[in-house]
């Protein structure tokens, strides 16, 4: 099982020097991939509905924030040569599909085909409202936007006519290096999320899972894949463990549960001065590169 590193890229902890050093050190130590997330703006007051904390509170607040994922990964592509670069996750329905398709293709092109496109539909209504994007029907919008992107990635002349977006015949270059496009990883462990894995013919990025929950959800995904022409073995699974399961001794249990890759997190207060020693600890604990 491969081991990936979730950086998060939370400001002000990260700096350009931190990101460059962490990416180079992770690549040198044999980590398979490096992932960052997305939130355009954060709020001091919001409905506490974050699904991965018992309090419902997002774990970043105050004068903190997140770097923009595509420019961050483009920067990291120039600092590295082999490690894969992923989004965990891009909030597809709150973005223009044309700009997102361009950014995906551009990072894949700049990195020589190392990009993994993790996607989600978003959990915070306030962010959608700030972007002046409808909150309703965001799941359906996500699916259609992915189809728009596929046309831009795959077709010499692209077009689309749908419920949420119309694209007249047009051309978008450069195309991604990976064909037909970078892998799409649907984030989430709910039935809604795994049904999206099936509909989009995508890979899977379950969040906040234990080995037991991964086993149960993977079995459900296998059921939903029956009759589609795809098998559960065709779905690449990148598991992000919950707090209780983010322990090195459970690595084998995640592999047995069907994970192809396990994402590990660095401590949030790691600085540029101790990033290498922290990664060394993770290498030893999780058997990275072994």
The CATH architecture to which 2-286 belongs is Alpha-Beta Barrel (3.20)
CA distance 79 to 20: 6
CB-CB contact of 193 with 205 (8 Å): no
Per-residue pLDDT of the chain (290 residues; tens, 9 = 90+): 999 999 977 888 889 999 999 999 999 999 999 999 999 999 998 888 888 888 888 888 778 889 999 999 999 999 999 999 999 999 999 999 999 999 999 999 999 999 999 999 999 999 999 999 999 999 999 999 999 999 999 999 999 999 999 999 999 999 999 999 999 999 999 999 999 999 999 999 999 999 999 999 999 999 999 999 999 999 999 999 998 999 999 999 999 999 999 999 987 688 899 999 999 999 999 999 86
Exposure string for 14-42, b = 16+ CB within 10 A, e = fewer: beeebbbbbbbbbbebebbbbbbbbbeeb
Secondary structure in 3-state letters for 19-39: HHHHHHHHHHCCCCEEEECCC
In angstroms and rounded to an integer, the radius of gyration of the C-alpha atoms of the chain is 18
């Amino acid at each position: 099982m491969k081991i990936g590193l979730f950086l998060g890229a939370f400001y002000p902890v990260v700096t350009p020097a931190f990101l460059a050093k962490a990416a180079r050190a992770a690549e040198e130590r044999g980590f398979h991939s490096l992932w960052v997330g997305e939130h355009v703006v954060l709020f001091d007051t919001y409905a506490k509905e974050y699904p991965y904390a018992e309090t419902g509170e997002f774990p970043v607040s105050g004068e903190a924030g997140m770097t923009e994922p595509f420019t961050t990964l483009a920067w990291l592509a120039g600092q590295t040569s082999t490690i894969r670069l992923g989004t965990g996750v891009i909030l597809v329905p709150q973005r223009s599909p044309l700009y997102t398709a361009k950014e995906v293709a551009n990072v894949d092109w700049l990195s020589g085909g190392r990009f993994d496109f993790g996607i989600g539909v978003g959990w915070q209504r306030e962010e959608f409202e700030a972007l002046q994007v409808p909150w309703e029907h965001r799941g359906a919008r996500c699916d259609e936007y992915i189809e728009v992107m596929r046309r831009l990635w795959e077709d010499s002349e692209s077009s689309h006519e749908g419920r949420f977006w119309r694209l007249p015949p047009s051309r978008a270059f450069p195309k991604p290096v990976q064909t037909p496009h970078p892998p799409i990883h649907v984030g989430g462990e709910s039935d809604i999320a795994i049904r999206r894995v099936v509909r989009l013919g995508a890979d899977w990025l379950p969040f906040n899972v234990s080995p037991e929950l991964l086993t149960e959800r993977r079995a459900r995904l296998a059921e939903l894949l029956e009759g589609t022409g795809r098998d559960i073995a065709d779905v690449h699974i990148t598991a992000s463990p919950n707090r209780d399961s983010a322990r090195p001794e459970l690595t084998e249990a995640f592999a047995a549960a069907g994970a192809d890759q396990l994402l590990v997190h660095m401590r949030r207060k790691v600085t540029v001065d101790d990033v290498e020693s922290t990664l060394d600890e993770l290498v030893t604990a999780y058997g990275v590169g072994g």
